[in-house]
Structure formats: structure tokens, C-alpha cells
Structure 1
Amino acid sequence: MEESKNIQLKEFTRNILVIRLSAMGDVAMVVPVLRVFRATYPDVKLTVLTRKFFAPMFSDIENLEVYPAEVNGKHKGFFGLTRLANELNKLGINEVADVHNVLRSNVLKTLFLLRGKKVAQVDKGRAEKKALTRPNNKVFKQLKSTHQRYADVFSALGYPIDFLTHNFPKKQALTKNILSLTQGSTKKWLGIAPFAQYDSKTYPLELMVEVIETLDKENRFEIFLFGGGKKELDILNNIASKYNNVINVVNKLSFEEELKLIGNLDIMVSMDSGNAHLSAMYGVHTITLWGVTHPFAGFMPFAQPIENTILPNLAKYDQIPTSIYGNKIPSGYEKVMYTIKPEKVVEAVNKLSL
């Protein structure tokens, strides 16, 4: 036992703590960054501090340990974070990459600084994002991607990485539950995630139903609906019950199994939300529909071409983006996504399925 422990210690020269506690889409955007890091620096161990629920996202990355943060339990508050820092310190942390930059991560970062550890923190680009989203004197230009902002944190620690070296993982084997759900379908597998945190970047449900109905009639796709929560479950069950080729995934798979299914899709249609980043991290063709947010803010799904984005009428709604997260809606901007016609979404799906 002692011998294997010594081998483990010799295998890694350093252990970097990576802090990203939430939200799901932001955590998913870290995954490609860490894939490249592991391939570039195989002798450096990564310890990712995040919610336990998110651990399956990192399952394809070797020599990476997920340490669960219980921020509503034993790690709550300053004393809880102090306890967490002590626990992490026992793992032999050498450096800290804070890719979250919130109060909790700042406290942890400070505690490690006091221990003499080198730390680096993500620059969220707040000033340039404010210039991009303000209604007057808007500076409308492409900002640095969130993936690159994360990569810059590692560069600051002395570990530059190049996304051109990134390789997507192989498709994962399907479980019995997934095989039962998919019913052995040999059609193209299309995922549709019709919801987002804010209505301002959620495609109107009646228009999404038109998209689903048209694609169902083509009889070329097995359509899987993704969402979460009781309200979304009921809505998606109702939609799925009306069509032959539509399956509601909600509450039928574990999160780990859901990720395996997403990784085996041919195409995903999503809002500017977490599901877009989940599918993109597996290299799935991902079509994104945007409302009052915009790809210029840096939240494009990883390695997806701009052609896979569908935007509303920017000439009519020239204040877009009105916010980074979709939480600010100017008067008269409540229905911007109605300018995205269902036919355009169907056309984008069919183009990628050729």
C-alpha cells in the first residue's frame, strides 16, 4: 500500500486546485480547457472544486479528482470555507486556479495565499461587457471567449495551453436505461433543450412546437427533449405524447446517463444555456438560439462555428445584447425571439444532418 502511494506521489510534480462551483453551463465550459491542460501537462494533477452533482462532466479526463464543495452544508460561511481550505490543503495543493471569481472563491484564494501558494483568478472583463450591453454608445465587438479567459488563468500560473491541440473524447457506451429509452433507433439523434433561465432567451414554446412538429413529420430524426423541474417535465411530456419520434428525457435518466446520451447525439438545438455547453463539450453539432444576449459576450459553445447560431432581428432590436445573462429586458424587447422563424431552425437542423 505504501509503495503504491509513493508511486502516486512520484507521478505528479504539482497539484493545481481549480475552483468553479456553479453554474452548470460555466462548469461545462471548463471541461475542454482541462482536457487540453491534462494533455499538455500530464505530470500535473488537477483537483476540481465544484458541486458533487457536476462530477460526471469530468469523467473522461484522466488524473483529475473532483472534490465536492458542500457550500450549503459543512462548507457554508467563512468558518465552513476555512474548514474546506484545510481539507484541500491536505491534498498537497501547490497552486490555485480560480476560474469563478466570486466571494466564496475569493475567500478560499486568500486562505491559500496566506499559506504561500501561488494563485491566479479569472478576469471576467466586466468593463468591456458593460460597454457591450449598455443601450447608448455601445461598443459592439467580439469579446474574448470564456474558454480563453479560463485558459488565461492557467497561463498566469505558468501553464499556457493551445486549444488547437484539443481532442474530443470518444462516444461513451450507452447504458441499459439509455438503450431502453432510445428503443434502438437508427435515425439521426436530435436533442432539443427548449428552456433557459430567463424568458428573454427562451424560444417561444408555440414556435418550438412548430419546429418539433415539422421535424417529426420528416421521420428522419429521433428527437430527445431535455429540461428539468416539475413544470418543464409536464410541458415536455405533453409535447412528446403528440408525436411518434419524440421522447422526453426528463426524470428518466441519471445526470451521468443524460451526459452519455448527449454525447451520442448527432445534433443539439439549445438556447444560450447550459445544455448548449454540455453538447459542445462532446463535439456534438450544437445550434443555439439567442434572444437579448449575444455570442459577442464570449459564451459561444466550444468549437462551434458562428453559422450554428441563430439570432433575432438585430436591425429592429439594436440594443441587443441588453445584458450578459438575459436578466435585463428593455421595454419593447419582450418578444425579440418571435423574429426567429421556425423554418429557419428547421433549415439549420436539416443542413447539419446531411
Structure 2
Amino acid sequence: MIYLFLSYLFFPLIKLLSLLRGKDKPFKKILVIQAAKIGDFICSTHLFREIKKTYPNSRLTVMVNPIVKEIAELNPYIDEVIPISSKGYKGFLGKIRLANLIRKGRYDVGITLNPNLPFTIGMLWGLIPIRLTVMPNFCGLTFRLASKFFTKLEPHASGRLVVETYLKLLNHIDIKTDNIAKEVYQSIEADKRVSEFLGLINKPLIGIAVSSGNKLKEIASKKIAEIIDQILKEIDAYIVLIGSAQDKLKAQEVLSLVKVKERILDSTGRFNLGELPALIKKLSVFIGVDTGITYMADALKVPIVYIPGPIDTSEQRPVESRMISIFHRLSCMPCSFVFKTTSFCKYNSKDCINLVTSEEIVLAVKKLLEN
């Protein structure tokens, strides 16, 4: 709370210094902060496009989680990528470092898609004259007090897609659009590397994400193995296991459990994030929970079998591609929201994930392949 106290104490002076910088329009320098992980970054890409379409001569800087640095640097609408981690702005000195970094950028507009105290303080002390953010539908007292330091807030309403809320946020800098299409870009050598990996396969490729950053959403190895066995029994196709190098052990566990060892390709750890879109776009169907690669598949318009599990799909879900969503209505669903996530099941059952059967998933795969 000391940061809030200091901000309120010196707010008249900070406001004056910010205004002395002026509010150039069309804006010359715009900062967007999206420090969440892969899926959240991909679900923000429509903002970068629409900002540059409206202000093509502006310099767009995006602060990102280091995890997404690769795909952020490939985005043609972003002029500068600044990786930031939460460790970098911890404590009082961390807040000062963040504010100094922002102040040196001399931005005309600052937009944070992560409505929290550090970025509020960073943009305020960084002397950005126009400061925008989303007002979460779930919000604690600290941020409610800090939210007074933004020049404009866009309330996020329950039941509305967060990507739509982001677009409404842009209305405050005269950007009018309803285009929520997401975009991902790949590195130059990506197609070549993927072609070498796939060889001469000319059968449907069905991708399965082996893990999730949030373990509450993750499908168990045994269930993944059951899905693979049933797909390979009923469909003349190849399975592609998808994940990062950290998912290699789980992929090996899945492979040890499957009965049918042929027609399975393990891509975990084979491709970096800049190369992965080249593999995803080759898939005939992607099977995934609410995870970053699901939104990559959505951006690339790959058909998706989607297992939302605990999340509120009225707020966030794939919207671009043909999709079959599989879930069982439970009294405890949803329990995880865009601005109020949870990483554990209070009933210790994960029924929202575990009750989805391999038969349901395989039937959905067949329907998407038929169409």
C-alpha cells in the first residue's frame, strides 16, 4: 500500500509533469503491456493490428512475458518488444526500475492488459499522459484504489469475450473496430524444419497438446493414451504430440501407455515458438484444453476439439475456427475466469476435465474430418 500512498501524495505533481509532455495526436509512441503467457498474448494480437491500422506512423512498443518474446518479435505490427518478468519489478526498487524504463520511452499512450498495481504505478510514475486499462469484473480493494490513476477505464462485463473488451478499450483513443481476428506469425525457416519432421506423410494429422500451464486444465497421460489408441483404431491418420521441451517427460509417459505405437509423432521440444505455427497449420484437427496452443490453432483456423474444463467460455474461447466444444454441465462450473483464475479443484476431482470421455473426443474428431 506504500506505493498507493506515495502515488496519491504526489499525484498533482505527477499529473502536471505528464501533461507537460503533451498529448501528441496522431500519437507518436504507444505502449501496450501484455505480460501474461502464450494464449493471452495471442488473444491480444488484434489490438496490435488495429492500433497500427489507425496510427500507421506511430511506434508501437509491447512489453511481454519472456516466454512469448519469439512470436512477439515476428509480429509485423510491433516495432519494439521489451521482455519483462515479474521478478524485475518486485519491491520498491523494482517499481522504480519499471517506471524509469517506461519514462525513457516517452510514450504518448500506455495500455496495460494486465490490470494490476505494478503496471499502474509503472505507467503513472513513468509519466505517460494517457493511461488505459480494463476494469476487471473481479477486483480487489488495492486495484480499485489504484484504478483512479488511469485516464480511462473500460469495464469488463461478465459474459462478454475479453477480446471484445480489449477492442472497446481502444475506443478511448479513437479506434473503432469490431475485428477480433487473432494472428500468429512464423519464422523464415519454420516450413522447412516442419517438412523435414513430417517427411512424406499424406494422411490427416491430428495434434494433441500433452500438457497445460495450469495443471487444473491438464488431461491425464492415461486419458491421452486412450484417446490416441481409439483414434488410431478408428481413423487412418497420424497423431502429433505437441508441447515444449518441458513436456518431453509427459510425452514419453503417454507413449509408454499407448497400445498402438505406430503413426505417432512426438514433436515436444522439437520446435521453438516461432516455428510451431508452421506445424500447427499442417494439422487436420487439434485436440486441446484451454491453453496457449489452442489459441494458436484458432488463429490459424485449424479445426479444434476443445475441452474448456473449468473456464468461463462466455469470456474466453476459440472463435476463429470450426470447433466442437466438449463439456459436462456441473454445478461447480465455471470456477476459473479471465481475471480470477484458479489452479486447483476444490473438490479434488477435476470432473470438468476427467468426465469427458475418449469416445466423445474421437466422435468430435471424426465430425471435423468429415466436414
Q: Normalization by structure 2: what TM-score?
A: 0.75
Q: CA offsets per residue over residues 5-27 of structure 1, 9 Å max, x none?
A: xxxxxxx8522100011222212
| Conserved? CA contact 1:308–1:348, under 8 Å | yes
CA distance in structure 1 between the partners assigned to 2:292 and 2:175 by the alignment? 27
Gaps of 5+ in 2: 1-25, 140-156
CA distance in structure 1 between the partners assigned to 2:103 and 2:202 by the alignment? 50
Q: Does residue 180 in structure 1 map to residue 192 in structure 2?
A: no
1:118 maps to: 130
CA distance in structure 2 between the partners assigned to 1:91 and 1:16 by the alignment? 9
Q: Does residue 72 in structure 1 map to residue 91 in structure 2?
A: no
SS in 1 for 2:269: coil
- CA 1:43–1:280: 2 relative to 1, 3 Å: same
> Could you tell me how far 1:345 is from its partner in structure 2?
0.9
2:19 maps to: none
Q: Which amino acid aligns with 1:118?
A: I
Gaps of 5+ in 1: 1-11, 128-140
1:299 maps to: 316
CA distance in structure 2 between the partners assigned to 1:87 and 1:292 by the alignment? 37
| Conserved? CA contact 1:322–1:330, under 8 Å | no
- CA 1:72–1:214: 2 relative to 1, 3 Å: same
> Could you tell me how far 1:119 is from its partner in structure 2?
0.5
Alignment of 1:89-108 (within 5 A): 89-108=103-122
Q: Which amino acid aligns with 1:182?
A: L
CA distance in structure 2 between the partners assigned to 1:323 and 1:163 by the alignment? 26
Q: Normalization by structure 1: what TM-score?
A: 0.78
Q: Does residue 54 in structure 1 map to residue 72 in structure 2?
A: no
CA distance in structure 2 between the partners assigned to 1:206 and 1:332 by the alignment? 18
Alignment match of 1:320 (pick from 322, 333, 336): 333
- CA 1:238–1:61: 2 relative to 1, 3 Å: farther
1:201 maps to: 217
Q: CA offsets per residue over residues 300-319 of structure 1, 9 Å max, x none?
A: 124346x521112x1xx222
SS in 2 for 1:17: strand
CA distance in structure 2 between the partners assigned to 1:294 and 1:70 by the alignment? 27
Q: CA offsets per residue over residues 235-270 of structure 1, 9 Å max, x none?
A: 245357952221111122222212332244332211
CA distance in structure 2 between the partners assigned to 1:332 and 1:88 by the alignment? 43
Q: CA offsets per residue over residues 186-239 of structure 1, 9 Å max, x none?
A: 222322113234454333433322221122234543321123425424324535
2:38 maps to: 24
Alignment match of 1:289 (pick from 299, 307, 310): 307
Q: CA offsets per residue over residues 29-88 of structure 1, 9 Å max, x none?
A: 112332343334423332110123312333243353211225435x55432343343334
> Could you tell me how far 1:348 is from its partner in structure 2?
1.4
Aligned-residue CA RMSD in angstroms? 3.0
**Relative contact order, higher structure (CA 8 A, sep 6+):** 1
SS in 1 for 2:99: helix
Q: Which amino acid aligns with 1:117?
A: P
1:250 maps to: 268
1:271 maps to: 289
- CA 1:167–1:119: 2 relative to 1, 3 Å: closer
> Could you tell me how far 1:169 is from its partner in structure 2?
6.6
> Could you tell me how far 1:108 is from its partner in structure 2?
1.3
- CA 1:294–1:13: 2 relative to 1, 3 Å: closer
SS in 2 for 1:143: coil
